[in-house]
Structure 1
């Protein structure tokens, strides 16, 4: 296959799936990772896709843009893994917790399969699948039900009704964007309503958000920054973002790429 043909196929794949991985493309086309990266460089330079760590995603995000789960999973994968690693340390055996939809919460789910006696409520199909596949008999997984979104979240009245009768120790919330004015946001109106129900059901709110979420605004606010008891982010979070978040949330935890907490600031 000529380079131009391969690039056209890659672009079509990005537009259909929302994102691609270098390793998967290299295996599919029978070429080196470096060849695929050159193809992605070419398409990126033409403004046809956005390069991310380990792959590429479609361009043109907006306040209602909602990439698929696979597209989001190739973005900031190292940071998400580090954030999830720290978040897992907050979970105690026997707790009743909730994991909202999102790729960072899915990373957290992979780290919870060894925690004894957990009850996990989730509106995320990938999270439920991860925990179900682990098959741990002393864990209970509650899937809310609801209408499926492009990011594999279950939302809407059925999900909200299922959540409203629950009482949870912790909620781990993934978000689309964070700003001082809008707070934590999502590009899906019904998902915001479902997330708010999860916030109301939990004693403590832990937000998991890599540095790219700062300055991004989804169409619907979930809750304000002050609602978060803990926010876990990575060490590429901008100084201005740290200042604002530190003033608003109960505790800001910054982790390195290895998952080690570099420090935390408590404001209340």
Structure 2
């Protein structure tokens, strides 16, 4: 297969899946790791894909374009893990917490298996699955039901009705983007609705957002920055952004992925 043909096939795969890993492409096309990386570099130079750690995703999403869960899960993995570890320290035995959909909240879910007497409310299929894979008899998981979105969130009137009847201590909210002008945003209108209901159900709001979410804007605003009691991000966030966020949220925590 010629390089141009292989690159075209790679681009088709990324368009179908939202993102791919280098290891997957090496196995699929039977070429070296370096060859695949050169292919991805060529596609990135043409503005067709964004290179991320270990793979590539579609380039330049618009405000209403929503990458799938698999595509987002290969982005900023170290940052998301560090953010999730810091967030897990906020969860105490016997609490009722809510986890919204998102790859960072899914990373958090994998760290909650040892918390005694925990109740977790979620509209995220991956979050529920992470807790299902590590079950313990004194934990309760409430999965809302609803309409599934590309990010594996459950949304719509069924999900919103389920959440409206509940009360939790903390909500851990994953977001698509954040900015002073638009607040916390999502590219999915239905997700905005369920996320607002989750905020209403919680006594405290903890936003989990890596540095790439800064000045990324989705079509629908979930809440203004000022509504967050705590925001956990990573050291990649620029100093000016830290200053602006620090003035808006109740508390800003910056973690170092290294």
- Partners in 2 of 1:104 and 1:225 — Cα distance? 18
- Partners in 2 of 1:36 and 1:95 — Cα distance? 46
Per the alignment, residue 22 of structure 1 pairs with 22
Per the alignment, residue 252 of structure 2 pairs with 252
Per the alignment, residue 228 of structure 1 pairs with 228
TM-score, L = length of structure 1: 0.93
1:206 counterpart SS class: strand
- Partners in 2 of 1:29 and 1:136 — Cα distance? 42
**Unaligned segments of structure 2, at least 5 residues:** none
Per the alignment, residue 261 of structure 1 pairs with none
Distance 1:27 1:114, change over 3 A: farther
- Partners in 2 of 1:9 and 1:114 — Cα distance? 44
Q: CA RMSD in A?
A: 1.2
Distance 1:24 1:114, change over 3 A: farther
Per the alignment, residue 265 of structure 1 pairs with none
What do the CA deviations read for 1:182-201 (whole angstroms, capped 9, x no partner)?
11011111111100100011
2:67 counterpart SS class: coil
After TM superposition, list the pairs within 5 Å mapping 1:90-169 onto structure 2: 90-169=90-169
1:217 Cα deviation from its structure 2 partner: 1.0
- Partners in 2 of 1:28 and 1:79 — Cα distance? 29
TM-score, L = length of structure 2: 0.97
Paired positions, count: 258
2:109 counterpart SS class: helix
Larger displacement relative to structure 2 (35-44 or 2-11): 2-11
Per the alignment, residue 61 of structure 2 pairs with 61
1:7 Cα deviation from its structure 2 partner: 1.8
What do the CA deviations read for 1:234-258 (whole angstroms, capped 9, x no partner)?
0010112111110011110000014
1:150 counterpart SS class: coil
